[in-house]
Amino acid sequence: MTIRPNALPTQEMTINMGPQHPSTHGVLRVILTTDGEVVTRAVPDIGYLHRGLEKIGERVTYAQFMPFTDRLDYLASMNCNCAWAWAVEKLAKIEVPERAEFLRVIVCELNRISSHLIAFGSYTADMGAFTPFLYGIREREKINDLFEMLCGARLTYNYARVGGVSGDAPPGFLEKTVEFLDYFAPKIEEYNELISYNKIFVHRLANVATVTAAEAVAYGLTGPSLRGSGVPFDLRKDEPYSVYPKFDFKVCVGTGERGTLGDCFDRYMVRINEMRESIRIIRQAVARIPDGPVLAKVPRVFKPPVGEVYFRSECPRGETGIYLVSDGTTNPFRLKIRTGSFVTMNIFEKVTRGLMIADIVAVIGSFDIILPEIDR
Amino acid sequence: MGLKDYMNNIVEAVVTTAKGMRITARYGVDPKEEVTLQYPEERWEIPERYRGFLHNDIKKCTACTMCVKVCPVDCISLESVRGADKKMVLAFYDINIGRCMYCGLCVEACPVKSLKHTSGYEKASEVRGELILHFIEEDAAEIKARVARQVAEAAAKAAEAAKAAEAAKPAPLPSEAAKAAVVDPKPAKAEAAKGETKE
Amino acid sequence: MESLAISLVKAVPVLGAAPLWAVTLLLMVASAVVILVFALTFEGVGSLVLRKVAGDIQARIGPNRVGPNGILQFLADGVKLVLKEDIIPANADRFLFKLAPYFVFVGSFAAFVVVPFGVGLTAADLNIGIYYVMAVTSLVVVGILLAGWASNNKWALLGGMRAAAQIVSYEVPVGMALIPAVLIAGSLSLQDIVRSQGGGLGIFGWNLFHNPFTFFSFFLYFTAAQAETNQTPFDLPEAESELVSGYNVEYSGIRFGLFFLAEFGDMFIVAALATACFLGGWQIPFFNAAALPPVWGNLLSLGVFLTKAFLMVLVMMWVRWTLPRLRVDQLMRMAWKYLVPLTFVNLLGVSLWLLVFKGKGIPGMIASLFG
């Protein structure tokens, strides 16, 4: 859009896309400077959901911090639980029983599916198609039922423990999981037919906010946002942890199929494809899960050795890294959590220059940020 | 954009719209696709492991305070006094279910399995005080007074019995009395140390 | 209306005492009241049907608590809106703020008077029917712009601007898509257009099947008219997830209610025009409605018309819940680069067809082949 010189003098508007907004995926405030419909600058303002989780971590013990990791990214609660457990186990060199690791992988992948369902549903709802959101929620309720059977909660699971998991799978859980996968796999095709390849939806997403591979790496993007730009980096394959080396799955990468490589549509399709890969992983895990205990012997008064550790795991929104410093007492000395959504906000200002206001919503949805992760 | 692309755009728009409309039409027409559960008339079947409101079986509880120590948000509070039979007696046991985050760590920590989750989840109230569950109905001060009385009575009885036993015993020989005086200091120190740890 | 007044005076001699213009005026007001009641009822029930259809499509139940199966929900909503606090923002332009909803409502409601409900059931059978509808529905733009500006809110302003651009742009294809029906009937009056679709061919007498160009005209009209009424996929001015309800974000209570009702009123107008111009209006297939006794003829044709119009409204709701919304520049591109050329080509095609085949449609030609 060119502005002719010597045309009528116009003024730029400063609009506040406030903390209360239906499409900002939480309490995100974006200060837009626009020239009519075209955004010249979009500055995000975060911190409305800061709860001091890292400071709380210094006050409670390692086992007591587990419920707080639930609230770190409440849509991928199992992933955050397991990340904390793996970090502490790496620090204290605890050996986790194999059945517990398999259970952790199953619940992490199920939670990845349910998190991507919300990402998909809320994204299409932001774009104006209200129906796929409810279909996604219906599928997610079934996953929640599985988790309720397993650990007793539907959102903040608190399932992993330092040394294993809190409880073994009740009888019927694994069968019901496979039943759910059989029910869910054709639904992804239905979503693709209903909305993913719809011409209007494709036009809203294609060629919007293109992030090249070099830019993505330079700005520190991780997870589906990075893979959408064509970089095949997945922590489960490149720095495998837990029992992920035993499973056979593909790393989903954006292909630029409907626009340029690295636009919003690629990031969206990476999430849809990742749901399919998660289904594959869960099927393999359920087939191969060994018998055995689910919790290692960890002393009640748990004092890990002095030292520091950085552990990173692949959460649905990117890499969740936990930097843990221990001084030999029952409470952590310092813990710092690096989340994918927080680092993604780096690129927000650059990528939104020259877009329209309607595209800001598309960008926020394509990066799939969530505010508790950003603000902790 | 050539004519071919132009016509392709139109055709693709129409075809993808029609495909989407076919899916929504199927949902719109099929009555089996309603998944709504009409709460409060229909309720979801609560599974066994559901982490609902907490309940403490006072008869089993030994007041070991493991639940208090392990709670991340300090929502359990209890006070206990040592009874006449050397067991702890609870003066009050309160759980603030408004603060509780239903994480289940206390239930896992309870060694006698008196603290359990129930399947309750409906306790919305307009007064915050209603959200504190008291598991001991008696007034705490009364319990403490009663236990103190019992302890005093037991101590008085024990003192009387000891005095009676003393009176009934024959007088010890001078050599035996000297030996007892030498051996004495250690048990006294041990008693003092045990008394401190009990606090 | 004057002829009706004359026949009424003949039937009820006591009215002969009043001058004719008074009786005519009384009749006009009475018919306007009837139409208003119908419009409001439709708009209320329409909002409920919208939510029920949404529920069905989205695998859930819509409202079902107020009244059996939720039938009285719209009454509850109406009462709620009336009882709400009337908030006018501090720095808003008070006069314009209060005036805007009336423009929008009048723009929508005034078009109801020419809708051909039945054989003899039109409030005013103007001989410039379609022209009048196009003109009067443009008032809505003024109302929306006023609402956007007077709210003293940047989001409302953006919504108002978008709406102005959108509605004005889509007027062109709407008009051009309706002209084929006018050409075939040879008159702008809606009753004439409906009457021209009779003629004993049953369903094939509809303008939809007249020639391939009118077939496409119907879909082009429907698409462009959906944009006129701010329905998804064209609901940018009131995009709930971006502009948080756009131009009516600062409105509360019954002022918001007027905007809301006008939206459903517009939907009905679009459906009514589509029915009248392309789907045969009140023509009962294989019957000559005009030949039936007046009461039966009117009732049956009213029923047929309303059924067709409601079906069209349902299709609009169906599309609304399926598609995402277009961005502003894509919307304008679609109007000017796709709909305007296509409707123009259609118009040329219909004109040529009528010239070459002397006004006969395909069904008419096939019928004359078989004698």
**Residue C220, pLDDT above cutoff 70:** yes
**Residue C340, pLDDT above cutoff 90:** yes
**Residue B36, pLDDT above cutoff 60:** yes
Q: Do B33 and C318 touch (CB under 8 A)?
A: no
**How confident is the model at residue B136, as a pLDDT?**
84
The torsion defined by the Cα of A208, A209, A210 and A211, in degrees rounded to 10, comes to -160
What is the 3 state secondary structure string of C100-131? HHHHHHHHHHHHHHHCCCCCCCCCCCCCCHHH
Residue C131 and residue C57 share a domain? no
Residue C97 and residue C56 share a domain? no
- CA-based nearest residue in chain C for residue B10: C338
* Mean pLDDT of the B145-155 span: 84
CA distance B7 to chain C (A): 10
pTM over 0.95: no
Contacting residues of B for A66, CB less than 8 Å apart: 103, 105
Of A13, A128, A131, Cβ closest to residue C233: A128
Q: Do B16 and A199 touch (CB under 8 A)?
A: yes
**How confident is the model at residue A322, as a pLDDT?**
93
pLDDT tens string A24-35: 678 888 898 988
Q: Do C318 and B21 touch (CB under 8 A)?
A: yes
Domains held by chain C: number = 2
pLDDT band at residue A68 under the 50/70/90 scheme = very high
pLDDT tens string A307-321: 999 999 999 999 999
**Residue B199, pLDDT above cutoff 50:** no
* Mean pLDDT of the A121-125 span: 90
Residue C177 and residue C132 share a domain? yes
Contacting residues of A for C322, CB less than 8 Å apart: 129, 131, 194
Q: What are phi and psi of B8, to 5 degrees?
A: -60, -40
Of B10, B27, B36, Cβ closest to residue C57: B27
Burial (CB count within 10 angstroms: exposed 0-12, middle 13-18, buried 19+), residue C66: middle
Contacting residues of A for B105, CB less than 8 Å apart: 63-64, 66-67, 158
pLDDT band at residue C200 under the 50/70/90 scheme = low
3-state secondary structure of A190: helix
- Could you list the residue range(s) of the whole structural domain that residue C15 is in? 1-83
Whether A266 and A274 have beta carbons less than 8 Å apart is answered as no
Residue A11 at interface with chain C, using a CB cutoff of 8 Å? no
* Mean pLDDT of the A193-212 span: 89
User: Reading across the β-sheet that carries A13-17, which strands appear in turn?
Assistant: A13-17, A29-35, A38-45
Interface test with A, best of C57, C157, C242, C337 (most A CBs within 10 A): C242
Helix C139-150, helix C129-137: angle, nearest 10: 10
**B143, two tokens:** 């319990």
User: Reading across the β-sheet that carries A318-326, which strands appear in turn?
Assistant: A307-315, A318-326, A334-338
* Mean pLDDT of the B12-16 span: 89
Interface test with A, best of C158, C236, C323 (most A CBs within 10 A): C323
Q: Do B34 and C338 touch (CB under 8 A)?
A: no
pLDDT band at residue B125 under the 50/70/90 scheme = confident
Of C54, C60, C327, Cβ closest to residue A204: C327
Looking at C50, C83, C116, the residue that finishes a domain is C83
Give partners of A (≥3 CB pairs < 8 A).
B, C
Percentage of chain A with pLDDT > 90? 51
Closest to C92 in 3D by CA, of C247, C250, C238, C246: C250
**B179, two tokens:** 């030996």
- First-to-last alpha carbon distance for chain C, in angstroms, is 40
Contacting residues of C for A138, CB less than 8 Å apart: 59
Looking at C34, C60, C83, the residue that finishes a domain is C83
Segment 233-262 of chain A within 8 Å of chain C by CB: none
pLDDT band at residue A9 under the 50/70/90 scheme = confident
Summary mean pLDDT of chain C? 84
Q: Do B47 and A148 touch (CB under 8 A)?
A: yes
Q: Which fold is adopted by the domain B54-142?
A: Alpha-Beta Plaits (3.30.70)
Residue C100 and residue C234 share a domain? yes
Q: Which of A329-338, B62-71, B128-137 has the lowest mean pLDDT?
A: B128-137
Residue C337 at interface with chain A, using a CB cutoff of 8 Å? no
Q: Is the peptide bond before B40 cis (omega within 30 degrees of 0)?
A: yes
Q: Do C323 and A198 touch (CB under 8 A)?
A: yes
Residue A124 at interface with chain C, using a CB cutoff of 8 Å? yes
Residue A200 at interface with chain C, using a CB cutoff of 8 Å? yes
Q: How many whole angstroms separate alpha carbon A29 and alpha carbon B48?
A: 42
Q: Do B72 and A194 touch (CB under 8 A)?
A: no
pLDDT tens string C256-312: 888 888 888 888 999 999 999 998 888 887 777 667 777 777 888 888 899 999 999
* Mean pLDDT of the A206-213 span: 89
Residue C79 and residue C117 share a domain? no
**How confident is the model at residue B196, as a pLDDT?**
41
Amino acid residing at B61: C
Q: Which of A74-83, C10-19, C62-71, C186-195 has the lowest mean pLDDT?
A: C10-19
**C326, two tokens:** 């277009």
* Mean pLDDT of the B47-69 span: 88
Helix A98-126, helix A77-92: angle, nearest 10: 140
Whether B132 and B82 have beta carbons less than 8 Å apart is answered as no
* Mean pLDDT of the A286-296 span: 91
Whether A247 and A264 have beta carbons less than 8 Å apart is answered as no
pLDDT tens string A220-238: 999 999 999 989 999 999 9
Residue C180 and residue C33 share a domain? no
Whether C157 and C149 have beta carbons less than 8 Å apart is answered as yes
Q: How many whole angstroms separate alpha carbon C223 and alpha carbon A277?
A: 39
Question: How many CB contacts within 8 angstroms connect chain B with chain C?
Answer: 37
Which residue did the predictor score with more confidence, C104 or B189?
C104
Closest to A98 in 3D by CA, of A270, A296, A271: A296
Cβ neighbours of C80 (radius 10 Å): 11
Looking at C34, C58, C83, the residue that finishes a domain is C83
Q: How many helices (H) and strands (E) does chain B have?
A: 6, 5
Of B10, B23, B36, Cβ closest to residue C60: B36
Whether A246 and A240 have beta carbons less than 8 Å apart is answered as no
pLDDT tens string C250-267: 888 888 888 888 888 888
User: What is the set of domains in chain A, with CATH numbers?
Assistant: 47-349 (1.10.645.10)
**How confident is the model at residue B178, as a pLDDT?**
56
Domains of chain B, by residue range, sit at 3-33, 54-142
* Mean pLDDT of the A109-136 span: 91
Whether B105 and B72 have beta carbons less than 8 Å apart is answered as yes
Q: Do A151 and B17 touch (CB under 8 A)?
A: no
Pairing mode of beta strands B88-96, B132-134: antiparallel
Residue C227 and residue C362 share a domain? yes
